[in-house]
């Protein structure tokens, strides 16, 4: 069993499969992180706006692994955009996580109403990269157009664009833009969590294509979806707080899907997002402060 890694555009190696902790309650997060690391995960994705960075940090310390062996990824929230604000946001995150260096730091969202602040925050990420405080920098939820605008005013091509992507929402245009620039596509809601917790009628776990492939390989539909991400060369960060699911979601390295099987999953795309339009976020409505 080999744990696949992806090489980012600055040469940094990142475990392709990580565990996400969005909506993991603080009191559940440390145990989930410890369970994941002890099950073999070496990549955790959190964010300042998940309000559980301290509990992630506690999990990093409690698990039976060295900090240096874990790829720690977090995101700066829109309230901390602007150059000085972003540098301070980084300090808040490192303090809560209890780490000196972050492996991958992303801008969590574009802020279309204040794109100048988005750019200034990214410039702060460039400074942190140059100073060795982060090993790689990137973005999340940036459209092809927004990527172009960001890159026109900054120097470092983002290593990653983390976007909603799963078999029911495969984002061909956004993937193509990422590929064109050498930006790795990292998939949030990789097993269509945004569909399940937002009440979309599509139930990913009863989809016949996924159920049949699962039966063929003795895997669950969730595992088939995660394997599909790996076949595409994406990074995927499934979330769970349930120990058996955390283990299940990592048990995807002992089978492969054929190109026809990958295509049959690609064909499940509905083009329907399971979440709000990332461009609809505003500081006024979504700019909650991130505590010290
Ligand atoms: P997801 O990982 O696709 O799905 C998570 C949901 O599925 C949870 O309700 C989880 O519940 C359940 N689940 C997990 N494993 C399962 C399994 N094997 N079988 C059945 N159900 C399972 O969705 P997500 O949390 O939205 O996305 C994953 C990560 O992406 C997040 O945690 C976060 O790190 C990141 N993310 C980023 C953004 C962004 O804007 N950048 C947005 C959303 C998410 P239980 O916990 O109860 O198992």
Q: Is 50 part of the annotated catalytic residue set?
A: yes
pLDDT the model gives residue 1: 73
**pLDDT value for 242:** 98
- Give residues (CB < 6 A) around ligand 1: 20-22, 45, 108, 140-141, 162, 188-194, 196-197, 205, 222, 237-242, 245, 248-249
For residue range 108-123, what is the model confidence (pLDDT) as tens digits? Answer: 999 999 999 999 999 9
Q: According to the 3-state scheme, what is the secondary structure of the chain?
A: CCCCEEECCCCCEEECECEECCCCCHHHHHHHHHHHHHHCCCEEECCHHHCCHHHHHHHHHHCCCCHHHCEEEEEECHHHCCHHHHHHHHHHHHHHHCCCCEEEEEECCCCHHHHHHHHHHHHHHHHHHHCCCEEEEEEECCCHHHHHHHHHHCCCCCCEEEEECECCECCHHHHHHHHHHCCEEEEECCCCHHHHHCCCCCCHHHCHHHHHHHHHHCCCHHHHHHHHHHHHCCEECCECCCHHHHHHHHCCCCCCCCHHHHHHHHCCCCCCCCCCCHHHCCHHHHCCCCCC
Beta pairing, strands 71-76 & 102-107: parallel
Query: Distance from the CA of 290 to the center of ligand 1, in angstroms?
Result: 22
pLDDT tens for residues 18-50?
Answer: 999 999 999 999 999 999 999 999 999 999 999
Per residue in 216-249, pLDDT (tens digit) is 999 999 999 999 999 999 999 999 999 999 999 9
Cα distance between residue 56 and residue 167, in whole Å: 28
Query: Ligand 1, residues 108, 111, 188, 236: which to mutate, most atoms within 8 A of Cβ?
Result: 188
CATH fold for the domain made of 13-195+232-241:
TIM Barrel (3.20.20)
Contact assessment for residue 32 and residue 240, using Cβ atoms and an 8 Å cutoff: yes
Say how many Å lie between the CA of residue 224 and the centre of ligand 1. Answer: 15
Calculate the average pLDDT of the chain. 98
From 3, 22, 41, 50, active-site residue? 50
pLDDT digits (tens, 9 = 90+) for 180-208: 999 999 999 999 999 999 999 999 999 99
Say what the pLDDT of residue 89 is: 98
């Amino acid at each position: 069993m080999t744990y696949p890694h992806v090489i980012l555009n600055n040469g940094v190696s990142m475990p392709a499969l990580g565990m996400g902790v969005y909506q993991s309650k603080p009191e559940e997060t440390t145990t989930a992180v410890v369970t994941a690391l002890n099950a073999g995960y070496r990549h955790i994705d959190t964010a300042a706006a998940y309000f559980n960075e301290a509990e992630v940090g506690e999990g990093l310390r409690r698990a039976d692994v060295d900090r240096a062996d874990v790829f720690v990824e977090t995101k700066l929230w829109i309230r901390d955009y602007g150059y000085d604000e972003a540098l301070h946001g980084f300090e808040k995150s490192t303090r809560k996580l209890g780490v000196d260096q972050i492996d991958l730091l992303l801008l969590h969202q574009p802020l279309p109403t204040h794109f100048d602040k988005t750019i200034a925050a990214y410039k702060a990420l460039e400074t942190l990269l140059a100073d060795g405080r982060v090993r790689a920098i990137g973005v999340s939820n940036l459209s092809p157009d927004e990527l172009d605008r960001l890159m026109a005013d900054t120097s470092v091509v983002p290593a990653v664009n983390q976007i909603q992507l799963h078999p029911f929402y495969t984002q061909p245009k956004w993937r193509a833009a990422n590929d064109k620039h050498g930006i790795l596509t990292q998939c949030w809601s990789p097993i269509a969590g945004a569909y399940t917790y937002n009440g979309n009628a599509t139930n990913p776990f009863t989809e016949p294509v996924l159920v049949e492939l699962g039966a063929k390989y003795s895997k669950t539909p969730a595992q088939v979806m995660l394997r599909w991400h790996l076949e595409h060369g994406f990074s995927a960060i499934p979330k769970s707080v349930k120990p058996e699911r955390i283990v299940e979601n990592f048990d995807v390295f002992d089978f492969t899907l054929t190109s026809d099987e990958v295509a049959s999953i690609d064909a499940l795309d509905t083009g329907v997002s399971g979440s709000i339009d990332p461009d609809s976020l505003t500081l006024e409505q979504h700019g909650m402060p991130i505590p010290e």
